[in-house]
Amino acid sequence: MSKVQAAITAVNGYVPEYVLTNKELESIVETTDEWITSRTGIKERRILKGEGLGTSDMAVHAVNGLLKKRGISAEDIELIIFCTTTPDMQFPASANILADKIGAVNAWGYDLQAACSGFIFGLATASQFIETGKHKNVLVIGGDKMSSIINYEDRTTCIIFGDGCGAVLLEANEEGNGIIDSLLHTDGSGRNHLNMKAGGSVNPASHETIDNHEHFVHQEGQAVFKFAVTNMANVAAEIMERNQLSSDDITWLVPHQANKRIIDATANRMGIGTEKVMINIEKYGNTTNGTIPLCLWEWESQLKKGDTLILAAFGGGFTWGSIYLKWAY
């Protein structure tokens, strides 16, 4: 019997309508379109506006479209892994909230927190439930409403992040396509360089934490950049090496979209040209868990059965990882 692999069989995405341009940011903080473009590659990002809307509301759009594309109903979903750093609430999990909103009454689910590497960690985790035969239809969501934890007075972070959400469906594949390998890392000693200082059990919300702006993303940009550029490139090169893949074997690199310079360094280390790299950072900025599924969504029409994809990400934690998969449709 041939090996069962977990394959992506549908993908969909959602980005909110509101476009926050570099030009508009120039009127909010002391920055320039030129600085943002040259240092990050970002031109604009999307912002979810509207009272009472959270990350799960973007996921509802992404998932409803995905189910329609695949021609299955929400009742067919058995497991939902919701990768997010900005859940609707501290608890219950956004996976539960989403299941209720879409009518996935037969599913169980949970949230997965691995900052910008979340979607890769989620795919690797979800694939186990398919490979073992435990579940048939598994949803992996990657999405964030980063605008809910960004200080729009901090020019070093507000220019980077945006809101958006992507979703994939995983099903069993016995044709040799699907997720073939994953390489995942965490190093908690990096936690001080990129975090949200308050709102957790160590430093619960108080008047003081609000006054000190501690419910926002804190990022030491240069330190994070140094680790990101090295580790994302290394992990992508390592997964190629251990699967005996040359640069010619790679159809697409699907990198986390944190900074165009980090993406270029990763492609360079893998020996592949920009024509093989999915890049949409100029339109959406860094949507944290959303970047990779949003790329897959945007490039879906160009993907062919059997294409070799390398996914790679680096994020707060620190967390980083890579996935080698063969496109299944």
Judged by CB under 6 A, the stretch of 33-41, 70-78, 90-98, 237-245 that binds ligand UT7 is 33-41
| Binds ligand UT7 by CB under 6 A, chosen from 22, 85, 127, 286 | 286
Cα 328 from chain centre: 20
How many residues does the structure list for the chain? 329
- DSSP class of 214: T
When binding is defined by CB under 6 A, the residue of 9, 12, 40, 234 that contacts ligand UT7 is: 40
Q: Burial-class residue 15 by CB neighbours within 10 Å (0-12, 13-18, 19+).
A: buried
Tell me the window of 155-163, 270-278, 298-306, 321-329 that interacts with ligand UT7 (CB under 6 A). 155-163
Which is it for the CA torsion 109, 92, 314, 290, positive or negative? positive
Q: Which of residues 298-317 bind ligand UT7 (CB under 6 A)?
A: 314-315
Rounded Cα distance between 177 and 82, Å, is: 24
106 labelled catalytic:
no
Q: What is the Cα–Cα distance from 168 to 165, expressed in whole angstroms?
A: 11
43 touches ligand UT7 (CB under 6 A):
no
Told to judge if 116 belongs to the known catalytic residues of this protein, a careful annotator would answer: yes
If one asks whether residue 262 binds ligand UT7 (CB under 6 A), the answer comes out as yes
Q: In the numeric block, which tokens belong to residue 173?
A: 């594949």
Which residues, 6 or more positions from 274, have their beta carbon under 8 angstroms from its beta carbon? Answer: 264, 267
Q: Which residue is nearest to ligand UT7 (CB)?
A: 221
Binding span for ligand UT7 by CB under 6 A among 5-13, 35-43, 52-60, 292-300: 35-43
Binding region for ligand UT7 (CB under 6 A) out of 46-54, 131-139, 218-226, 294-302: 218-226
Tell me whether residue 256 is one of the annotated catalytic residues: yes
For ligand UT7, the binding residue among 6, 7, 124, 258 (CB under 6 A) is: 258
The answer to whether 263 contacts ligand UT7 (rule: CB under 6 A) is no
Cα gap 160→152, rounded to integer Å:
11
- 45 to 104, contacts with ligand UT7 by CB under 6 A? none
Closest CA to 55 of 95, 10, 113, 100: 95
Give min distance, CB of 11 to ligand UT7, in A.
21
* Comparison of 121 and 225: residue with beta carbon closer to ligand UT7: 225
Is residue 221 within the footprint of ligand UT7 (CB under 6 A)?
A: yes
Structure tokens at 65: 């479209």
Structure tokens at 112: 């997965």
Among 39, 69, 136, 185, binds ligand UT7 (CB under 6 A): 39
Q: Verify binding: residue 228, ligand UT7, rule CB under 6 A.
A: yes
Which residues have a catalytic role annotated? 116, 256, 286
Q: Which residues sit at the interface with ligand UT7, rule CB under 6 A?
A: 31, 35-36, 39-40, 116, 155-156, 159, 221-222, 224-225, 228, 258-259, 262, 286, 314-315
